[in-house]
Chain A
Amino acid sequence: MLEQTSKIEEYQGIWVFAEQRNGKLLEVGLELLGSGRMIADKMATELAAVLLGHNVAGLVVDELGEYGADKVYLLDSPILEVYRSDPYALLMQGLINQYKPAVLLIGATTIGMDLAPRVAAKIGTGLSAHCTGLDISGNGQLAAIVPAFGGSMMAAILCPNRRPQMATVCPGFMKKNEREQGRKASVVRVEVSLPQESIRTKVVEVFSEEPKTLPIELAETIVAGGYGIGSKENWKMVEELATVLGASVGATRPAVDEGWASLEEQMIGQSGKTVHPNLYIGIGISGVIHHLIGIKDSKVIVAINSDPNAPILKAADYGIVADFRDIVPHLIRGFREAMEEM
């Protein structure tokens, strides 16, 4: 590697990219402030948020400080209204060269995943992708925990010799802090001035819509069905249980292929979505590794399967060996009563 001009010790501070879209901060930025706060406290160093956009100063006062940032680097300009890699990456490079943070965390959104590698290449530093965990050692070494091979293995990645240590972090895995009303962050307004020819793309249109249903990767409760459900008629039982629990409906690949699940977005597993709900109930799912990978981060797994040898029963916290047609109606009734009591 080309040597960096500054020494590692000169890099101080934990930075979080506070991604905003349409003037609204993304949840993942706040989550990163949560873990960033922990890391900063452990290192006895400062936690800063980096905010780029247009007319976004309001966010500083409202949220970033109250969610844990000590400082906010604010870059506000019309050319930053909508994300483009050229201006965002060039400005981040300038900021990093000037203020030298030790760690830079970016949410692994589509935009984050577009921005982070370009910045890392501009600086010549290391970047870990799609982290689901972070740890910092006493001497300031960040360990980024990332999935490999579709998630069947995990790796711990270090960046010992370059700064800042960069990581993109999956939304929903870190916890944001309790909001501290009135907590203030100091603001560093950075001037934005880039030559016209350095910005090589034009955004012609941005389209986004509010989701009709919660994306399953963000769901806190999931009821999922598999091939054992057997028919579209029976699938209604899965949906009913989900409704009672206010849960999202998930499916394995065979259930999607059979057409019982209504959206491909509901598919959980190696080739589908990775979920991490508090409660996952899998019905008529055998539990092949491709599916188990998708649910391994669930807090509690409940499995219902008529086959006592189904692999999912070993991978569950609570297993029920029964024909789902016998047990699910009782669960529906039982949960409904329990929810009404609460």
Chain B
Amino acid sequence: MPFELTPEEEMVRKVVREFTEKEIIPHRRELRAENWDFVMQLAKKQAAAGFHLNLIPRQKGGTGLGQIARSITMEEICAGWPLIYPLLGTEFAWCFVNATGGEVEKKWMPGIVKGSIFASPMITESSGGSDVLGFTTAARKDGNSWVINGRKCFIHHAHISDFGMVLAKTGDPNDPATKGVKALSAFIVEKDMPGFRLVRGENTLSEKAQTSELVFDNVRVPENYLVGEVGRGIAPVFTAVGDIGRLGITAMLNGCILGSYQCSVKFAKERVLYGKPISTLQAIQWRIADILIDLETSRALAYRAGWLRNKGIRCDAEQAVAKYFATQAAHRCALHAINIHGAYGVLEEYMPQVYYRFAPPMIGAGGTDEILKQIMARAALEGADPVIGSKAAESGL
């Protein structure tokens, strides 16, 4: 694996950083859920700048720059402000239509390339996000369509999504061929379809009303809205959760680490105590060094997983390690930043408390620490030494 970024990847950082300095940092106070118009305005500008195009190939209207460039893009933006990033939904949308193809892809691609379309993965149920076999949402074939019934919860940004990919049970409990994960299929469901509705939005530690509960009440979807094949729904879900979800969340967390690093260095140089800037105090220097250790490590893991994925190599354990580490490190570094900032660290106008609030909600997203460790353990016990390009056993999400 080359330890150098390409000139394009270097330029991505410069371009996105300049955008962040100009369009995001001066408007941090305004980027709240209550100010959704402004958030959407910013998303539009980000879309115009092509920030959502990294994973879409050139020939389909994207930049094809890949996962590392995407990681850099999200890092720089989230260092500016991490709490709301609608364009993740556009990346999910691409992933879903790419897996479905046909009419669905034709219908939604122009909007996706434009960056005005968002989609959500609709997987989690109250029975658990990773316990897919415990799902109750089911789909049955009825003529040329499928009818879906069930409930999903903790669905991110469903309230702005134009469609989603639903994981539902299609298996027959009496048929051994559809046992286990082979009971699951994935479907595209659009927001205007009758029988589909949002129940309520949840407020979390980081932001208000970003996740919702969804109800599917005899929602009828056409045949070609099946993603892939019957009983093979777990595959597109893996891709979405891994490529878009985990790597995206990792990048956002790395943005928080980068942000904690930047604001701590700046503050330490400016804050004068005992007649000198606190950057002259060894204790502060060590905390900054600790942040740097996490920043270097977390980014290296993310870029490596991204590099493997750019090459089309499946690497479930590497992705899991990257997300696990980033979640822990983002939280740690935010705490360092709060310590360095002292009382200022938890003031609304200062960034450390923002980074601190972002990390915990990411624990549940894309797999808790324990789920991720399961994936890592399986790869270690069932895979080669060293683990490169690992596949987790299919029951673990």
Contact = CB atoms under 8 A, between A and B. Distances in A.
Contacts of A307: 272
B312 interface: no
A309 interface: yes
A307 B272 CA distance: 10
B230 to A, nearest CB: 61
Nearest to A310: B272
Interface in A289-312: 307, 309
B22 to A, nearest CB: 15
Interface residues of B, number: 2
Contacts of B272: 307, 309
A187 B233 CA distance: 97
B275 interface: yes
Interface string B270-300: 0010010000000000000000000000000
Interface string A270-297: 0000000000000000000000000000
Q: Which secondary structure characterizes the binding site on chain A?
A: loop
Interface residues on A, range: under 10
A322 to B, nearest CB: 17
A278 to B, nearest CB: 33
Nearest to B275: A309
B158 to A, nearest CB: 40
Interface in B112-128: none
A309 B274 CA distance: 11
Nearest to A307: B272
Contacts of B275: 309
A309 B272 CA distance: 10
A309 B275 CA distance: 7
Contacts of A309: 272, 275
A225 to B, nearest CB: 20
A200 B275 CA distance: 64
Nearest to B276: A309
A142 B2 CA distance: 56
B279 to A, nearest CB: 14
A307 B271 CA distance: 12
B201 to A, nearest CB: 37
Interface in B227-272: 272
A94 B51 CA distance: 58
B115 to A, nearest CB: 32
A212 to B, nearest CB: 30
Interface in A226-256: none
A309 B271 CA distance: 13
A307 B275 CA distance: 9
Nearest to A308: B275
Interface string A303-338: 000010100000000000000000000000000000
A311 to B, nearest CB: 12
A238 B275 CA distance: 27
B128 to A, nearest CB: 51
Interface in B200-228: none
B280 to A, nearest CB: 12
B273 to A, nearest CB: 12
B261 to A, nearest CB: 23
Interface in A138-194: none
Nearest to A309: B275
Interface in A62-121: none
A166 B169 CA distance: 86
A307 B273 CA distance: 11
A309 B277 CA distance: 11
B268 to A, nearest CB: 16
Nearest to B277: A309
B296 to A, nearest CB: 31
A226 to B, nearest CB: 15
A312 to B, nearest CB: 15
B69 to A, nearest CB: 33
B101 to A, nearest CB: 52
3 contacts: A307-B272, A309-B272, A309-B275
Question: Lowest 3 A-B CB distances belong to which pairs?
Answer: A309-B275, A309-B272, A307-B272
Interface of A: 307, 309
Interface of B: 272, 275
